Homo-oligomer: A and B are copies of this chain.
């Protein structure tokens, strides 16, 4: 009893209650066909021994191959977008008693591969993936083996799977055009590594907006490879010191917009240089100036993702679906600053 190691098993309970293991199993699983007196005796023993059901053993025997586990590999669970997504998945899966294994990829391909491997080894019932790799061919055998995968934020390449994404090119074009329409011509563009699907798409939208007006962006104002807010802040500080500094900035992700804003504040230029960010975030309406953003409806994306996931878990084996959500422009002030004459 004072043993710190080892929990009671059904065998122990059976011994204490003076019944067979199978009867304990019946009681624990609430199966009918157990005499009331016996049931009570077993329940008593369960209590006395602090018996806890062993889900893994149970699943193994049932061969149901259902572990009630779902993996969620996101960019960074502490980023508001990933965090909100995680939360809506959680809400959608709660009722099913399905638990979520979450992890952050930080845009590192190797980490994605190793974490996927780990999750497969744990026999998750399904996977939600915001990939950091270019291609996900490595996933096909697992998908073939019956593990549903739903991609979020980025489309799958090299593997057939569902996805929920937004129109990144369109969103970026809209954001950039919003600035161009106000007369800005020196618009800076901040994005992450060109290998990253969303970063490349948003950069493309930026270019397209210029092209649509028959003009070209200033190359020196286009900065890629920005890994986080710190890098964006440094890059913008540098841009502001150019002979021909930007009069407006288009930031390709919420953390880059935040870094940019911080740089503007440091130079006291937050009310002179326009700024449009991609991705809304909780306090965008309260910063100074209130931030104009291209918003993707995270709640909606989360719900759609969960919906696809649940369908697949319920046995839907139809062809992969691609769901694309249209982003919207939310004008709050920072994006409506006119260029200096």
- CB <8 Å contact, A100 and B103: yes
Q: Which of A74-122 contact B (CB under 8 A)?
A: 76-78, 80, 83-84, 86-87, 90, 97, 99-104, 118-122
- CB <8 Å contact, A77 and B67: no
- CB <8 Å contact, B118 and A50: no
> A118 contacts which chain B residues (CB < 8 A)?
97, 99
CB A269 to nearest CB in B, in angstroms, measures 14
CA distance A50 to B83 in the complex (A): 33
**Is A173 at the interface (CB under 8 A from chain B)?**
no
CB A17 to nearest CB in B, in angstroms, measures 18
- CB <8 Å contact, B84 and A54: no
* Segment of A29-37, A176-184, A189-197, A280-288 in the binding face: A280-288
Of all chain B residues, which has the CB nearest A285?
B262
Among A56, A76, A119: residue with most chain B CB under 10 A = A56
CB A127 to nearest CB in B, in angstroms, measures 13
Q: Which of A250-301 contact B (CB under 8 A)?
A: 258, 261-262, 265, 281-283, 285-289
What mask results when residues 12 to 45 of chain A are scored 1 for a CB within 8 Å of chain B, else 0?
0000000000000000000000000000000000
CB A273 to nearest CB in B, in angstroms, measures 15
**Is A144 at the interface (CB under 8 A from chain B)?**
yes
> A285 contacts which chain B residues (CB < 8 A)?
262
* Segment of A3-11, A149-157, A204-212, A216-224 in the binding face: A3-11
CA distance A126 to B54 in the complex (A): 15
> A100 contacts which chain B residues (CB < 8 A)?
101-103
Looking at the complex, which one of B7, B54, B121, B144 makes contact with A55 (CB distance below 8 Å)? B121
**Is A225 at the interface (CB under 8 A from chain B)?**
no
Q: Can you give 25 A-B contacts (C-beta < 8 A)?
A: A4-B145, A5-B146, A6-B65, A7-B145, A50-B141, A50-B144, A52-B121, A52-B145, A56-B56, A56-B123, A77-B86, A77-B102, A80-B80, A80-B83, A83-B83, A87-B104, A97-B118, A99-B118, A100-B101, A101-B101, A258-B286, A262-B285, A265-B286, A283-B287, A287-B287
In the A-B complex, the 8 residue pairs with the closest CB atoms: A288-B288, A78-B87, A50-B141, A56-B56, A83-B83, A286-B287, A78-B83, A55-B121
Residues of A that sit less than 8 Å from B by CB:
4-7, 50, 52-57, 59-60, 65, 67, 76-78, 80, 83-84, 86-87, 90, 97, 99-104, 118-123, 141-142, 144-146, 258, 261-262, 265, 281-283, 285-289, 317
